[in-house]
Amino acid sequence: MRGECTVSQAAAALGLGLTPTFKLVQRYLRLGLLSESRREARAGRALRHYRAPGAFYVPFHVRPFEQMGEANRGAGLRAFEHNLERAMHTRTWAGWGSLSCFTPAGDVYYEFVSESGEVWEPLAQGAPLILAGWNRVTLSVDEARTLQRQLVALLRPYLNRPGTGEPYQVGIFLTPDRP
């Protein structure tokens, strides 16, 4: 969707082989999700370039919700962990480590502490601009709906706007936590 590419460029970007990528391209052409944008003459067969529309509808029977979510979360989580590591290395951590703790509900959480017992304060002036962690909370259905609305309202003003400054990755997740 960011521009045109060849089958081999798409395969490299997706980490797939040429044959599976070619089959996907053929399928997406039939579904109208791709179009050939140009052909580049060369010895032998012409090099075909494809482009996806800027936005398109894909029914869940073509790409199931779970598959779409897993791919998006996986890519986002890998990028987040890489960026978190880089942000945390802006501080010298000599003499610091992690303290494993349990919540009253029995969930594990970690604190960054110094050898002398000082707890790292993530909101302190000069601390890396990060927020990381999974939190399990107990909510009624009404409280969960309220939290969902608050999180959306918190994020919405920052979405899809031209901005100056540095980009930040934000991930907000809320789902029932059932075994």
Q: Residue 85, SS3?
A: helix
Evaluate whether residue 62 is within a structural domain.
no
Evaluate whether residue 81 is within a structural domain.
no
* Residue 40 near residue 46 (C-beta atoms within 8 A): yes
Evaluate whether residue 57 is within a structural domain.
no
Predicted local confidence at residue 19, as pLDDT = 94
Predicted local confidence at residue 135, as pLDDT = 77
Q: Are residues 100 and 124 in the same domain?
A: yes
Evaluate whether residue 77 is within a structural domain.
no
Dihedral of alpha carbons 104, 109, 110, 111, sign: negative
Predicted local confidence at residue 49, as pLDDT = 95
Q: Are residues 121 and 151 in the same domain?
A: no
Q: Are residues 103 and 128 in the same domain?
A: yes
Q: Are residues 26 and 13 in the same domain?
A: yes
Q: Are residues 115 and 141 in the same domain?
A: no
- Give me the tens of pLDDT residue by residue for the chain, a chain 179 residues long: 778 999 999 999 888 999 999 999 999 999 888 999 999 998 988 999 999 888 877 788 887 878 877 877 788 888 888 888 887 787 778 888 889 988 887 888 888 899 999 998 888 888 878 877 777 788 999 999 999 999 999 999 988 888 788 888 888 888 887 76
* Residue 137 near residue 148 (C-beta atoms within 8 A): no
- Read off the amino acid at residue 104: P
Count how many domains the chain has: 3
Evaluate whether residue 64 is within a structural domain.
no
Evaluate whether residue 174 is within a structural domain.
yes
Evaluate whether residue 59 is within a structural domain.
no
Q: Are residues 106 and 120 in the same domain?
A: yes
Range of the structural domain that residue 103 is part of: 93-135
Q: Are residues 141 and 131 in the same domain?
A: no
Q: Are residues 122 and 152 in the same domain?
A: no
pTM of the model: 0.58
Evaluate whether residue 25 is within a structural domain.
yes
